[in-house]
Amino acid sequence: MYLAKINITLKESVLDPQGQTVLRTLQGMSEQTVQDVRVGKYVEMKLQADSSESAKEIATRICDKLLVNSVIETYHLEIAKI
């Protein structure tokens, strides 16, 4: 069994209104050291696979088909044996 850990974020070129709202709120709380905020999604999937490479291929396929809008989002994937 493998665990796929997937971080999905908007591409740098895409405006992140939720991140900007968080940034303004933090700055309103006198957190002036925060310069930028990007908000994303985190997904975990348990996968039955023969190897970590196979689990990565499955998770990548699922990301590309369903979880990630490749026009505006990018993702980082990690596979761990559980």
Distances (CA, A) of 12 to 7, 24, 52, 75: 14, 19, 29, 12
- Amino acid 81: pLDDT: 98
Please tell me the pTM assigned to this model: 0.87
Amino acid at 12: E
Nearest to 62 by CA among 47, 51, 81: 47
Return the CATH class of domain 2-81. alpha beta
Q: pLDDT means per 10 residues in the chain (82 residues)?
A: 98 97 97 96 98 98 98 98 97
- Amino acid 17: pLDDT: 97
Strand extents, DSSP E, the chain: 2-10, 41-47, 73-81
Listed by start position, the domains of the chain span 2-81
